[in-house]
Amino acid sequence: MASEYTSQGEIAITGTVLLTGVRNGSRMITMRFSNPAAYTLQLYSYKSSTASTIQIYDFTLDAGDVVTDSFAYLLEEGDYLEVFTDVAGTEYYVRCFEG
Amino acid sequence: MQVVDKTGNIFGIGIEITGPDGKPKTTGGGGGAPSGPAGGDLSGTYPNPSVVWNNGTGTYDLLYYPLSSNPAAYLTGITSLMVTNALGYTPAPTYQRRSDFVNPYQYSGTAVVGTIDSSATWTIKRINFTTPGSPITQTAVGAWTNRLSLIYI
């Protein structure tokens, strides 16, 4: 049975994995990012079946901009979504389903 | 602010960026050119789809043959067409008339404006004045030029 959970925190400059696909798959429902300072935001998707990473988007944002991503990303087991920023203090909030 | 993915696409549905005031931010360009197969009233593929007209084909149908600029196609395309004027009723066609008197007959012909005299579409009434006070009216359809030899009934 799928379980919903939310997570929030600060994105590390070195990148933060937001969600990893589990055995029965995972779905990222909503992601939200913000920073009071100007910042960049890059989202990457790692596909375990091909051992490849693709960039989903690369945003250059003004101070105070909020990015809300409500695409439903489906992750197979071993896949993951990772986000990067260039400025400390970029907050994230995610809502997803696992299993 | 620049909001593009690695291929230059600007995101719209699913990703929203709002400013500190909470209002959605717009980005220059408003998205790339459309691509892929067309649907609805369009056929073909973007960016140059074709229009599917009311007759279901890619060519103009009667509705799109302007009488003013393409009367031949307009007339060819007509199979059943009710023409109404601005008041909603069908105006009567304008007729032209001819008259002639060849004793003892009075001939009165009518045809749609533009009909030539040799056309067999004239409606001709012949009034016989042989019997004074009792005129007999008969009608024939044919060429105005043949009015004297037509059979009137």
pLDDT above 50 for B40: yes
Q: Does A56 touch chain B (CB under 8 A)?
A: yes
pLDDT score for B145: 94
Beta bridge partners of B100: B107
pLDDT score for B72: 58
pLDDT above 90 for B49: no
A61 neighbourhood in chain B, CB within 8 Å: 1, 17
Q: Is B41 exposed, middle or buried (0-12, 13-18, 19+ CB in 10 A)?
A: exposed
Per-residue pLDDT tens digits for A2-49 = 788 899 999 998 889 998 888 888 888 889 999 999 999 999 999 999
Q: Which helix (H) or strand (E) holds B127?
A: strand B122-128
pLDDT score for B124: 92
Per-residue pLDDT tens digits for A44-87 = 999 999 988 888 888 888 889 999 888 878 889 999 999 999 99
Q: Per-residue pLDDT averaged across B87-115, rounded?
A: 78
Residue in A58, A65, A69 nearest the CB of B1:
A65
What is the rounded distance in angstroms from the CA atom of residue B106 to the CA atom of residue B129? Answer: 8
CA terminus-to-terminus distance, chain B: 89
Q: What is the pTM of this model?
A: 0.46
DSSP secondary structure, chain A, as one string? --EEEEEEEE--TT-EEEEE--TT-EEEEEEEEE-SS-EEEEEEEEETTTTEEEEEEEEEE-TT-EEEE---EEE-TT-EEEEEESSTT-EEEEEEEE-
Per-residue pLDDT tens digits for B115-131 = 899 999 999 988 887 77
Residue in A55, A60, A71 nearest the CB of B6:
A55
**Is residue B49 within 8 Å of B42, Cβ to Cβ?**
yes
**Is residue A97 within 8 Å of A2, Cβ to Cβ?**
yes
B7 neighbourhood in chain A, CB within 8 Å: none
B17 neighbourhood in chain A, CB within 8 Å: 59, 61, 65-68
For chain A, what percent of residues have pLDDT higher than 90? Answer: 39
pLDDT score for B144: 94
| B115 C-beta neighbours (distance < 10 Å), count | 18
pLDDT score for A36: 93
Q: Which domains does chain A have, with CATH numbers?
A: 3-98 (2.60.120.220)
Beta bridge partners of B128: B105, B136
**Is residue B8 within 8 Å of B27, Cβ to Cβ?**
no
pLDDT score for A16: 93
pLDDT above 90 for B26: no
Q: How many CB pairs under 8 A join A and B?
A: 50
* Nearest alpha carbon to residue B99 among B120, B113, B117: B117
| B121 C-beta neighbours (distance < 10 Å), count | 13
DSSP secondary structure, B62-115, as one string? GGGS-TTT-HHHHHHH-SS-----TTSSPPPPPEEEEEEEETTEEEEEEEETT-
pLDDT score for B41: 66
Best mutation site among A27, A35, A68, A73 for testing chain B: the one with the most B CBs within 10 Å? A68
Q: A65–B2: do the CB atoms touch at under 8 Å?
A: no
Three-state secondary-structure class, residue B52: coil
Amino acid residing at B6: K
Best mutation site among A65, A74, A86 for testing chain B: the one with the most B CBs within 10 Å? A65
